[in-house]
Structure formats: structure tokens, C-alpha cells
Amino acid sequence: MTLFGLASIWIFLRHTIHNGDYHYVQPVQAISFIGDAGVNLFLFLSGFGVYFSLKNRTLQSYYLKRFNRIFPVFIPLFFSSWV
């Protein structure tokens, strides 16, 4: 498992524990206590991902590629939420 996946699961567990009734389980309390570190790890790794995505291209080509990946999925979901 990659660190990015581990950070995602860590954040998920933190939110599940925080919003649920799982405070009485000892290992779960440890995850809840240090759960915010998962967010820090996720953001840190996201910064590396953006850096390496921009390393060999211009900012304009980066945003154009992101737009072309996100926009086709966003528009149908956006309009379907109005129905």
C-alpha cells in the first residue's frame, strides 16, 4: 500500500471514529488521538504530486490537462444534482 492510500485510510478512520461510538476500543483511541497527522501526510504528498506534475510542463498545460480530466465528469454530475 502506498503512503497516499495509507493517509486516505487514516483520515477515513479518524472521521469514522470521531463521528461514531467507537471511543471505548483502545487501538481505536490511538488512531483518533493522532488522526490529524493523516491530513498532514496527505497534503504533504499532494504537494509532491503537484510538483512532479509541473516539473516538465508549463502551468498553462497543467491546468488545461486538469480541466480536460475534470470538466467532462463535472458537468453531468452538476446537472444531475438539479433533477
Q: pLDDT per residue over 14-70, tens digit each?
A: 777 666 665 556 666 666 667 778 888 888 988 888 888 888 888 898 889 889 999
pTM (predicted TM-score): 0.58
Cβ 69 vs Cβ 61: under 8 Å: no
Instruction: Show the domain range for 45.
Output: 3-80
Torsion angle (degrees, nearest 10) of CA 6, 12, 17, 22: -70
Q: How many CB atoms lie within 10 A of CB 38?
A: 20
Number of domains within the chain: 1
Neighbours of 14 (CB within 10 A): 19
Assigned C-alpha cell, 82: 438539479
Cβ atoms 24, 52 nearer than 8 A: no
